[in-house]
Amino acid sequence: MQRSTWKPAKPKAIKSRGMQGATATADQKRFHSLMASLGCIACHLDKRYQPIVSIHHIDGRTKPDAHWLVLPLCAGHHQDGTGAPGLVAVHPWKNKFESIYSPQRNLLRLCIQTLLDRGAIVSDGALRAANFNLEAV
């Protein structure tokens, strides 16, 4: 009788759509942290506070200025089927999400205005990408 040596199968590579595009710069990562400090913008508009957020890229991660065009969203407002039940998530319900809360670029400008009101220094790259007019402030 011959003994066989069992070897586990090699794991298959996992294909992810999530991490494509250029890596965020240090300045963009600082901006993401500032945005995250606000909590979920959709929850805020619902008169709730949810400090645990992920950074949602409005136009994906591969377009120019993608890492400036971001929103802080809780799990339930970011991905359907996660977080608290009953929340409208931007993925896959973008049109419904925007009809309830406002177009995402408007939410971005609201977040930036809130940061400025709190005395935060917001990078010129973020202001430019959001078409934020400091003279109107």
pLDDT for residue 16: 45
28-50 burial, b at 16+ Cβ within 10 Å, e below that, comes to: beebbebbbebbbbbbbeeeeeb
> In this predicted model, what pLDDT tens digit does every residue of 7-24 receive, in sequence order?
555 655 544 455 567 899
Q: What's the Rg (C-alpha) of the chain?
A: 19
> In this predicted model, what pLDDT tens digit does every residue of 55-80 receive, in sequence order?
999 999 999 899 999 999 999 999 99
**Do the Cβ atoms of 129 and 109 come closer than 8 Å?**
no
The domains found in the chain, sorted by start residue, are 26-136 (3.30.40.190)
Q: What's the pTM?
A: 0.83
- Mean of the pLDDT values across residues 95-99? 98
Average pLDDT, the chain: 89
Query: Shortest CA distance to 36 belongs to which of 71, 68, 66?
Result: 71
Amino acid at 50: Q
Query: Which of 80-84, 96-100, 116-120 has the lowest average pLDDT?
Result: 80-84
Reading the block at residue 104, the tokens are 């995402």
pLDDT for residue 22: 84
Report whether pLDDT(136) > 80. no
Question: Which sign, positive or negative, has the C-alpha torsion 57, 87, 39, 122?
Answer: positive
Kindly state the percentage of the chain with pLDDT values over 70: 83
Reading the block at residue 129, the tokens are 């990408």
